[in-house]
Amino acid sequence: MANRLRLGLDEWKANLEREPVALATAAEPPVTSAADAAADELRAAYPRGETGNLRGQVRVDRDASENPAVAAAVVVSGAPHAHLYEDGTRYARAHPTFYPITNRHARDMESKVSAIVARENYTVTGAID
């Protein structure tokens, strides 16, 4: 009788296919928490102004894809004049607010998601710029 080596490739393949969904599910809380915290901080940092549009049009868009292996949220400053406040004009100085706040929260979220991925014995390299 010949020796047989059972590799269990079907089980390995099924586990491999489930892994991205499991990682995205685990990453969802820190991703959404970071986006919500950044949006709240932006609303507090922007001036009230006459209309309140700068504060009032900050929102968080959740990932709308049907892909269960994606955990995403995007912070949006939807006021049409937000870029003028952020970048300034020749008549008004710049008030860099959006990127300093969102980048800080993104770095915090990245470290939390990296820890989740590392717990699953994956190697995590690179960083958010």
Q: What is the pLDDT of residue 34?
A: 96
Q: How far is CA 90 from CA 12, 33, 84, 85, 94, in A?
A: 61, 37, 10, 12, 9
128: pLDDT strictly greater than 60: no
Q: What is the pLDDT of residue 57?
A: 96
Residue range 30-41, pLDDT digits in tens: 999 999 999 999
Predicted confidence band of residue 7 (pLDDT cuts 50, 70, 90) = low
Residue 51: phi and psi, rounded to 5, are -105, -20
Predicted confidence band of residue 1 (pLDDT cuts 50, 70, 90) = low
**The pair of three-digit structure tokens given for residue 92, joined into one six-digit string:** 């008004």
Mean pLDDT of the chain: 87
Q: How far apart are the first and last CA of the chain?
A: 59
Q: How far is CA 124 from CA 17, 62, 112, 115, in A?
A: 19, 24, 12, 9
Give yes or no for a contact between 62 and 72, defined as CB atoms under 8 angstroms apart: yes
Q: What is the pLDDT of residue 40?
A: 98
Question: Greater confidence, 91 or 23?
Answer: 91
Q: What is the pLDDT of residue 127?
A: 61
